[in-house]
Amino acid sequence: MKSNNKDLTPAKTSEFRNPQISKDTPVQYIKGVGPARARLLERIGITTLQDILFYFPWRYEDRKNLIKICDLKYGADATVMCEVESAKIITTRRKRMKIFEVTFADETGYLKSKWFNQAYLEKYFKKGVKVILSGLVKGNLYSGEGLEMDNPDYELVGTEDRLIHTSRIVPVYKATEGISQKQLRTLMFNAVDSASFLLEEYLPGEIIERNGLKPLEWSVSEAHFPEEYNDIDSLNKGMSPAHKRLIFDEFFLLEAGLALLKKRETLEKGISFGDGGGLVDKFLKQLHFTLTSAQERVLKQIRSDMKRNLPMNRLIHGDVGCGKTVVALISILVAVENGYQACLMAPTELLAEQHFTNIHKMVEALGLNVLLLTSSSGKKAAGHVSDGSAQVIIGTHAVIQEHVEFKKLGLAIIDEQHRFGVVQRAALRRKGANPDILIMTATPIPRTLAMTLYGDLDVSVIDELPAGRRPVVTKTFFSSQKEKIYSLIEGEMSKGRQVYIVYPLIEESEKLDLKSAVDGAGALKNMFPEREVGLVHGRMHHDEREAVMASFKSGDVDILVATTVIEVGIDVPNASLMLIVHAERFGLAQLHQLRGRIGRGGYDSYCLLLAYHPFSEDAKRRLKAMESTADGFRIAEEDLSIRGPGEFFGTRQSGIPNLQIANIIRDIDMLEIARKEAFDLVDADPVLKKYPLVREALQKKWMGRLELIKS
Ligand code: ADP
Ligand code: MG
């Protein structure tokens, strides 16, 4: 508690600007920090001056209005200016706690304050000293005790030339254990005061002017300690001019990085695929359905990309079951009929196997060589890839392992992009001479947001489901309703349908996981002795798993018990009911994915969410969302609002920089503006030759992930 003394050190306007410091100077050299606090600050991600300057308050309090003691209201926050009338230290008998009690006065009345275990304050609060107090008013005028403020923020008037904690709009930071709000605010003040001059203006003047942006240094300092701009509501909504500038910058640097990634690719030569090799036509003839118009449209975009002499970099997104696989397959055929290899990379072994089985079946008649490549495939498989005998390679991450070499890779498809990052994409690209890249994701990203996460990609949307899909009735059940659940399951099976039962994946404990699924399968066998119950989980050997899946697909198995390994890619139209056990533990996107496995066969279908109490508010919202909509875009939007943008986008995984102050949802308009500016700038000057400061800022922001701008 001794360190509290530091709060009273007067904060002086910087009299000199230390030329030794830079943005990279460790934070411990800031006045009032030192090694111990530097360690605490590290916990909230602050290590350098730059970090501290960009650690913004999450809200503001208006303590500008100084009111008189007689106007204080019980239960409200207030700021008053008054004088010390008397002060004393009381030691409690039981716990030997020291309470420092001061009576303050102004011309309208008295106010009492108590500080606990801060007896040292006695030397500052002498009779007659003027102070400003800010805090919650307690006590009751009519109880005879009068008004009280316990542990208020205070400032001694006269000893400090600028007020930090009171009598102004005061920033409130996310503090961390070991540093009080007041201490943090003081050192933020010192940091801004002594180091904000380091922030050079790096944005081109035209961009600043065109968008009416405030200067960077001004904005940083105003966002911390508003002086000129005092609209508390705008500040709290992140809409002040300072915020506007800072949000613009975050988006601008994000988008400029993406623009550079995109630009680099368009500067490189790609493969120009011709058409008319015959494979695609043959395939389309044997296909037992006609493509939806959305599939047709997207295919047209892909084929025109593939024809161009530039590398394709396209994202296809569309809801579960919209038919992305056929689109991918036709693109594969285009590559193959041009004499190239094509690969499809999936996030899990099971999904890779599933794709392999499906695709193999679909192209068998065409006489293509399709190979499955996972971490368990041997040298021989890799040999087929390098000698070119494998034309289509379906696999997991194993595909981008170093020892895998392609003879002539022309097209790489990544399924389920949300688990792959920019980095893996680059690795895949290096497997060939600028192969075309197609990314498929079943996580429907709210349309307006797709451009951020995938700002370096062209985007196509398959926004139509094949005809004959039936909406899935979704309902939450509790453990007391198991009888009802069993009778629904029996009901579907007696109609000849099949059933999925999904157990949660508990990441910390794969064993426990397995146990719950194994136990579940056992219990079901007892419950439905006449039925065939199959079990699949992540720990099974590929062949074993494949055998169970095959007998589910053929209808020999009635009930498939599974861990979330069936989340993606499994396609059994006869399955009409899915029971998700411990549904409260699943993420929304995952629930939606799982549900996408049913309702594919034109039957009425049911998704039963079995939830166990107690569960969180968020879990409740997820279950509600599942019950109320089947629209992947609305699900994604709800997911985004439950989880918040940071987590939703998994920025760490995707390799794009984190956003500190901007909010992708709230600030979407600004995002569009910043994106346009960034893309225009990169278009005009692809290596940012004329903008070295922008380059430097980008390098910092992207932490070396933009190798391109070094060249
Ligand atoms: P996604 O990968 O987008 O979730 P799939 O490609 O697995 O969807 O397709 C789901 C199911 O719909 C598959 O059984 C597929 O054969 C079928 N399908 C795809 N396109 C069509 C279409 N145009 N008409 C009818 N069925 C289709
Ligand atoms: Mg799929």
Q: Which domains does the chain have, with CATH numbers?
A: 70-163 (2.40.50.140), 242-267+661-708 (no CATH), 279-462 (3.40.50.300), 472-629 (3.40.50.300)
Q: How far is the CA of 331 from the centre of ligand 2 (A)?
A: 15
Q: Which of 368, 375, 373 is nearest to 383 (CA)?
A: 373
**Which residues in 39-108 belong to E strands, given as ranges?**
59-62, 66-67, 77-91, 98-106
Q: Is the pLDDT of residue 709 over 90?
A: no
Question: Residue of the nearest CA to atom 23 in ligand 1?
Answer: 291
pLDDT score for 12: 45
Confidence of residue 16 (pLDDT cuts 50, 70, 90): very low
Nearest CA to ligand 1 atom 16: 323
pLDDT grade, residue 457 (50/70/90)?
A: confident
* Residue with CA closest to ligand 1 atom 10: 321
E-only strand ranges, 301-408: 313-318, 341-345, 370-373, 392-395
Look over the chain and give the mean of its residue pLDDT values, rounded to a whole number: 84
Q: Tokens representing 626?
A: 């599942």
Residue 532 CA, ligand 2 centroid: distance in Å:
27
Distance between CA atoms of 69 and 79, rounded to whole angstroms?
9
Atom of ligand 1 nearest to the CA of 328: 6
Q: What pLDDT does residue 201 have? A: 94
Range with lowest mean pLDDT among 101-105, 279-283, 359-363, 694-698: 359-363
Of all atoms in ligand 1, which is nearest to the CA of residue 326?
6
pLDDT value, residue 142? 60
Distance from residue 441's CA to the centre of ligand 1 (Å): 14
Higher pLDDT: 74 or 515? It is 74
Q: What pLDDT, on the 0 to 100 scale, is given for residue 15?
A: 41
Whether 252 shows a pLDDT value over 80: the answer reads yes
- Confidence band of 458 (pLDDT split at 50, 70, 90): confident
Separation of CA 78 and ligand 2 centre (Å): 58
Pocket mutation for ligand 1, best pick of 289, 291, 438 (most atoms within 8 Å of C-beta) = 289
- Residue nearest (by alpha carbon) to ligand 1 atom 26: 466
Q: Which ligand is nearest to the CA of 462?
A: 1
Pocket residue to mutate for ligand 1, from 322, 464, 600, most atoms within 8 A of Cβ: 322
Confidence grade of residue 105 (pLDDT, cut at 50, 70, 90): very high
From the CA of 317, the nearest ligand is 1
| Ligand 1 atom 5, closest CA | 323
Q: How far is the CA of 314 from the centre of ligand 2 (A)?
A: 16
Distance 485 CA to ligand 1 centre (A): 29
Q: Which atom of ligand 1 is nearest to the CA of 573?
A: 14
The ligand placed nearest to the CA atom of residue 571 is: 1
Ligand nearest to the CA of 593: 1
* 351 CA → ligand 2 middle, Å: 9
- Ligand 1 atom nearest to 327, measured from its CA: 6
Res. 154: pLDDT tops 60: yes
Mutate which of 297, 317, 325 to test ligand 1's pocket (most atoms within 8 Å of Cβ)? Answer: 325
Q: Is the pLDDT higher at 512 or at 504?
A: 504
pLDDT at 705 over 50: yes
C-alpha dihedral over 187, 191, 192, 196, to 10 degrees? -170
For residue 181, how far is its CA from the centre of ligand 2 (angstroms)?
A: 50
The percent of residues above 70 in pLDDT, for the chain, comes to 87
What pLDDT shows up at residue 372? 94
Assign 502 a pLDDT band (cuts: 50, 70, 90): very high
E-strand stretches of 36-76:
59-62, 66-67
Spatial neighbors of 625 by CB under 8 A, at least 6 apart, are: 588, 634, 635, 638, 639, 642
In the predicted model, is pLDDT for residue 609 greater than 90?
Answer: yes
**pLDDT score of 1 more than 70:** no
Buried b / exposed e over 144-183, threshold 16 CB at 10 Å, is eeebbbeebbbbbbeebeebbbbbbbbbebeeeeebeebb
- Atom index in ligand 1 nearest the CA of residue 325 equals 6
**Which ligand lies nearest to the CA atom of residue 290 in the structure?**
1
CA dist., res. 192 & res. 190, Å (int): 6
Per-residue pLDDT at 631: 84
The rounded Å distance from CA 650 to ligand 2 centre is 21
Highest mean pLDDT among 475-489, 499-513, 627-641: 475-489
Q: Is residue 418 over pLDDT 60?
A: no
Instruction: Specify the pTM.
Output: 0.67
- CA of 408 from ligand 2 middle (Å) equals 26
pLDDT, residue 578, reads 96
Measure 324 CA to ligand 2 centroid, in angstroms.
Answer: 6
Of 334-343, 466-475, 486-495, 500-509, which gets the smallest average pLDDT? 500-509
Mean pLDDT of 85-97: 85
pLDDT at 499: 96
Note the pLDDT of residue 470: 78
Distance 556 CA to ligand 2 centre (A): 24
**Residue nearest (by alpha carbon) to ligand 1 atom 18:** 323
Is residue 266 within 8 Å of 275, Cβ to Cβ? Answer: no
Q: Which ligand is nearest to the CA of 323?
A: 1
What ligand 1 atom has the least distance to the C-alpha of 320?
A: 4
pLDDT digits (tens, 9 = 90+) for 291-301: 999 999 999 99
Mean pLDDT of 346-361: 84
Q: Report pLDDT for 244.
A: 97
CA of 391 to the centre of ligand 2 (A): 21
Query: Over pLDDT 90: what percentage of the chain?
Result: 38
Strand partners, 104: 84, 111
- pLDDT score, position 422: 62
> Residue 398 forms beta bridges with which residues?
none
Q: State the ligand closest to the CA atom of 347.
A: 2
pLDDT at 58 over 70: yes
Atom of ligand 1 lying closest to residue 415 CA = 2
pLDDT score at 711 = 38
**Does residue 676 register a pLDDT over 80?**
yes
| pLDDT, average across residues 54-74 | 88
Nearest-CA residue for atom 1 of ligand 1: 321
pLDDT at 266 over 80: no
H helix and E strand count, the chain: 24, 23
> Which residue has its alpha carbon closest to ligand 1 atom 17?
323
Q: Counting ligands in written order, which one lies closest to the CA of residue 463?
A: 1
* Relative orientation angle of helices 293-307 and 324-337, to the nearest 10 degrees: 30
The pLDDT tens digits for 166-216 are 778 989 998 778 888 888 898 899 999 888 888 989 999 999 999 999 999
pLDDT tens per residue, range 18-29: 557 788 888 888
Query: Minimum-distance ligand to the CA of 320?
Result: 1
pLDDT of residue 409: 95
The yes-or-no verdict on residue 463 having pLDDT over 90 is no
- Lining residues, ligand 1, CB within 6 Å: 289, 291-292, 295, 318, 320-326, 442, 466, 571, 600
Strand partners of residue 575: 498
pLDDT tens digits, one per residue of 679-689? 999 999 988 99
Nearest atom in ligand 1 to 322's CA = 3
Atom 2 (ligand 1): residue with closest C-alpha?
A: 324
Average confidence (pLDDT) over 308-320 = 87
Look at ligand 1, atom 15, and give the residue with the nearest C-alpha. Answer: 323
pLDDT of residue 386 exceeding 50, the answer is: yes
Token look-up 């609060």 returns 125
For β-strands 313-318 and 436-441, DSSP reports them as: parallel
Q: What is the Å distance from ligand 2's center to 330 Cα? A: 14
Residues 100-128, mean pLDDT to the nearest whole number: 89
638-656, pLDDT tens digit by residue? Answer: 887 777 665 655 544 455 6
C-alpha 570 to ligand 1 mean position (Å): 11
Q: How confident is the model at residue 663 (pLDDT cuts 50, 70, 90)?
A: confident
Confidence of residue 347 (pLDDT cuts 50, 70, 90): confident
Lowest-pLDDT choice from 198-202, 247-251, 446-450, 583-587:
446-450
> pLDDT tens across 582-592, in order?
999 888 888 99
Q: Provide the pLDDT confidence category of residue 511 given band limits of 50, 70 and 90.
A: low
Structure-block tokens of residue 51? 């970090």
